[in-house]
Structure 1
Amino acid sequence: MPRIRREPDLTPFFEFCYGIARRDQLVGAKTTDAYLRWRLETGQWQVILPSVYALFQGDLTLEQRAFAGQLHGGAASQITGAAALRFLGLQYGPVAERIHILVPPDKRVASAPGFRVIRTERLAEPTVIDGLRLAPVVRAVADTLRERLDLRMARALVSEAVQSRAATVEEFEAEVADGPQRGSADFRRAVADVVGGARSAPEAELRDLCRTSRVLPPVLWNPILRGPGDDHLLPIPDGWLDDVGLALEVDSREYHSSPEGWVRTLERHNKLTVLGVVVLHITPRDLRRDPGKVLALIERTYLELARKGNRHRVRRVSDRGA
């Protein structure tokens, strides 16, 4: 073991860099090659990537892995994919098994186990959170979905980003137009659903389901409704069958996770039913576990209302799509 005469001051790496450092940074902090080699050989430090080290033992957090990837990618790099979604606050992304790193096309750096380097000419202004340079939400969503083929997740992520105002529909349309087509079928379909007015993944699934019916007329999605002689807008149902006054509502678990959410649902329901509207509440769980049963319920309800000649007092102001 080499004689260690003086410990270098590595405090800044723990205060600002998650305990992660690149070799040239350690050299700048007056760390010798002998000291680095001793720390590694004794297991006190560990190699994460070529010339990127963790100045501690044990497993790395997601933040530490991302910061290591950022150091590996260089000054212009950005973290994208599932890890970026986590830091940007989106809830429906997959577990970040790998760190995805965007780098300029001329950057000479390679992928490694647990880290994927993506060369791109489309490096937008990053969002910086706790020292991590993150790709824009739209790019992070797209990169996640281009690698993971999952239409349900695609719909959930795109809808969440738009509903939370983390991104706009127009930004997603631009990413579809400008980004790579390979592996993007689910992403493009999810964006098309949102462009068409779908506000959530379960609503998009309900749309797909209703299109398979040989009984139902075209369902109107998210129509604007008013009461008779009333200037106040009524609650906008997810789906609407105007001839019988049947409203379809997808009730998400998140929306009903609080007493306030349940009260809002009852208020929406009551404002419609008092005008003769029949409201069917559909859960995402039922849609996914037994879509045939859900469709049969909608069809039976529609036929029964048509048979009885259900009369409602709702005026449809505009349609948002069939």
Structure 2
Amino acid sequence: MNHNTPLSPRPLRHLVTTQRRVMSGAQLKAHGVSAAAAQEQCRAGGPWQQVLPGVFLLHPGPPTGEERLHAVLLYAGRTPQRRVPAGAVPVQPAAGDPHATPGGPATPYSDVLVTGLAALALHGFSAAPALLSLDHVDVLVPRTRRLRSTEYARLVRAPGLPDPVTLDGVPVAPVPRAVADAVAQLADAEAVRRLLTEAVRGGHCDPASLVRELTAARLLTRPHVVAAVDSLLAEGRAIAEDRLYAMVRECGLEDPLWNVDLRLPAGPHLGGVDAYWPDHAVAVELDTRAPRPGLRQDDDALWGAYVRKREHLERLGITVVHITPRKLRESIEQQAAVVRTALMASGDRDPAAYVVVLPRS
């Protein structure tokens, strides 16, 4: 017997007691099941079925949504396998673990991430259909992978994969990338708007990271996507402002003047700020800019104007605290501490120039 000789056949009932009954041909071989034996189990009326090339469902009924998901991962991913030494008794995989290999610990899928609507369903999006109702399961794979989309497995090739988010043991693309891959397949403007809105309103990501992914995917040439993004950016600013209000209220900061313009007496307009503490000469400004394709020069001009405004205010003795929506979402207490420190330090600074405060027009 050489290392390529399959192990002697043994009863297959140990394979169908796992919680997730879907395995690759390589995994079956590691359990002593030859390719011929697997095909025999998949004969008409047999107990198994081949659901994707090289992937077997170990029961005759239709696959569940979870089983379809793992079947696609087994088809598209690289799952390292370990062969059982000759004479050894194969060990049953842990219940619910399709990655377990006999004689060793569980190994994760590699070089593959669930993305698109399937990923958003796993992230808990109400706007994403249930896994079982999806016509396709999209998976990100390296551009060099020698596989084709087939059946309900749809491959999305990428030069590099983002860091995965592991949900229920499944490697999943981060929300911004998953949304971009889902939007790439959608022509329904309302469906696109719902996904983008839930991504931001649900706190899954900030508008800037979402727009970056849509830009990278070259999706902002589509009118219905552009319209959804315009609405998204407006909503993103409103959400960030609400979080700023909550930060002041919940973290015990003094009440500022909200959304005001600053001017020198009988002088030029200095610019608007989102919050201002006149007794301390401290201002907070939200940065809700997001990159837009074809508008790089405009973005650079806006950033340049912001920097000039900030430098001008600081020359007048006004401390400007710059906060992004992401910081407010992920570390609101830390941002409150930054503002509190600036307020407390005002007594140690030289008095600021007198400025006129007006409601923002």
CA 1:156–1:7: 2 relative to 1, 3 Å:
same
CA deviation profile, 1:263-289 (whole Å, cap 9, x unmatched): xxxxxxxxxxxxxxxxxxxxxxxxxxx
1:80–1:139: 8 Å Cα contact kept in structure 2? yes
Which residue identity lines up with residue 26 of structure 2 in the other structure?
Answer: D
Which residue identity lines up with residue 90 of structure 1 in the other structure?
Answer: F
Query: Secondary structure, in 3 states, of the residue corresponding to 1:181?
Result: coil
2:64 to 58, 61, 66: 61
Shift of 1:122: 4.0
Which residue identity lines up with residue 199 of structure 2 in the other structure?
Answer: A
2:47 to 41, 44, 48: 44
1:22 aligns with 2:57: no
Whole-Å separation in 2 of the counterparts to 1:111 and 1:87 = 21
2:192–2:228: 8 Å Cα contact kept in structure 1? yes
2:112–2:140: 8 Å Cα contact kept in structure 1? yes
1:62–1:83: 8 Å Cα contact kept in structure 2? no
Whole-Å separation in 1 of the counterparts to 2:52 and 2:150 = 7
Query: Secondary structure, in 3 states, of the residue corresponding to 1:157?
Result: helix
Q: Normalising by structure 1, what TM-score?
A: 0.57
1:146–1:187: 8 Å Cα contact kept in structure 2? no
1:93–1:153: 8 Å Cα contact kept in structure 2? no
CA deviation profile, 1:54-81 (whole Å, cap 9, x unmatched): 1111111211111111111112111111
CA 1:60–1:187: 2 relative to 1, 3 Å:
farther
Specify the alignment match of 2:106 in structure 1: none
Query: Secondary structure, in 3 states, of the residue corresponding to 2:184?
Result: helix
1:8–1:30: 8 Å Cα contact kept in structure 2? no
1:77 aligns with 2:112: yes
Which residue identity lines up with residue 33 of structure 2 in the other structure?
Answer: T
Structure 1 range deviating more: 90-99 or 59-68: 90-99
2:9–2:33: 8 Å Cα contact kept in structure 1? no
CA 1:106–1:39: 2 relative to 1, 3 Å:
same
Structure 1 range deviating more: 191-200 or 58-67: 191-200
Query: Secondary structure, in 3 states, of the residue corresponding to 1:167?
Result: coil
Shift of 1:37: 2.1
Whole-Å separation in 2 of the counterparts to 1:78 and 1:165 = 22
Specify the alignment match of 1:135 in structure 2: 173
Which residue identity lines up with residue 159 of structure 1 in the other structure?
Answer: T
Specify the alignment match of 1:278 in structure 2: none
1:86 aligns with 2:121: yes
CA deviation profile, 1:168-216 (whole Å, cap 9, x unmatched): 112112112212338854334322321133689xxxxxxxxxxxxxxxx
1:108 aligns with 2:146: yes
Which residue identity lines up with residue 115 of structure 1 in the other structure?
Answer: A
The correspondence of residues 1-322 of structure 1 with structure 2, limited to 5 A, is 6-8=10-12, 10-11=14-15, 14-15=18-19, 18-41=20-43, 42-74=45-77, 75-94=110-129, 95-181=133-219, 184-197=222-235, 317-318=359-360
CA deviation profile, 1:148-175 (whole Å, cap 9, x unmatched): 1122121111111111111111211211
Query: Secondary structure, in 3 states, of the residue corresponding to 2:235?
Result: coil
Whole-Å separation in 1 of the counterparts to 2:9 and 2:190 = 59
Query: Secondary structure, in 3 states, of the residue corresponding to 2:196?
Result: helix
Which blocks of at least 5 consecutive residues in structure 2 are unaligned? 1-7, 78-109, 246-254, 259-357
Query: Secondary structure, in 3 states, of the residue corresponding to 2:18?
Result: helix
Q: Normalising by structure 2, what TM-score?
A: 0.51
Shift of 1:318: 4.2
Please say which structure displays the higher CA radius of gyration: 2
Alpha-carbon RMSD: 3.3
Aligned residues: 210
Which residue identity lines up with residue 6 of structure 1 in the other structure?
Answer: R
Which residue identity lines up with residue 47 of structure 2 in the other structure?
Answer: Q
1:45–1:56: 8 Å Cα contact kept in structure 2? yes
Whole-Å separation in 2 of the counterparts to 1:199 and 1:12 = 52
Specify the alignment match of 2:336 in structure 1: none
CA 1:199–1:161: 2 relative to 1, 3 Å:
farther
Which residue identity lines up with residue 18 of structure 2 in the other structure?
Answer: F
Query: Secondary structure, in 3 states, of the residue corresponding to 2:140?
Result: strand
Shift of 1:139: 1.4
Whole-Å separation in 2 of the counterparts to 1:49 and 1:183 = 35
Query: Secondary structure, in 3 states, of the residue corresponding to 2:200?
Result: helix
1:87–1:129: 8 Å Cα contact kept in structure 2? yes
Which residue identity lines up with residue 161 of structure 1 in the other structure?
Answer: A
